[in-house]
Amino acid sequence: MEKPQKKKQLNRYIQLTGVAFQMGITIYLGAYFGKWLDEHFQTSNKTFTIISTLVAMVVSIWSVLAQLKKINDKYE
């Protein structure tokens, strides 16, 4: 009877690891896109980098919360 419980727990860890990678990639892409916009429009105070990074953080946190809710509902 312990085998299904261990497999269930392993699947949960794998999904949570995927969520963490997705969050990191989203924030990285937001910062990269902001940096590109700052270079393209030649801004000196990195306005686009700051704004796009903050937007990417909000989007990634919202996505993580939605995925955690889905994972929690699935394994209850």
Tokens 């394994």 locate to 75
Question: Alpha helix locations (H) across the chain?
Answer: 2-41, 47-74
Beta-carbon contacts of residue 75 (< 8 Å; ≥ 6 apart):
8, 12
The helices-and-strands tally (H runs, E runs) of the chain is 2, 0
pLDDT at 2: 54
Distance, CA of 46 to CA of 34 (rounded, Å): 8
Distance, CA of 14 to CA of 58 (rounded, Å): 23
Averages of pLDDT over each 10 residues, the chain, 76 residues? 72 88 97 98 95 98 94 81
pLDDT at 9: 81
- Can you give the pTM of this predicted structure? 0.84
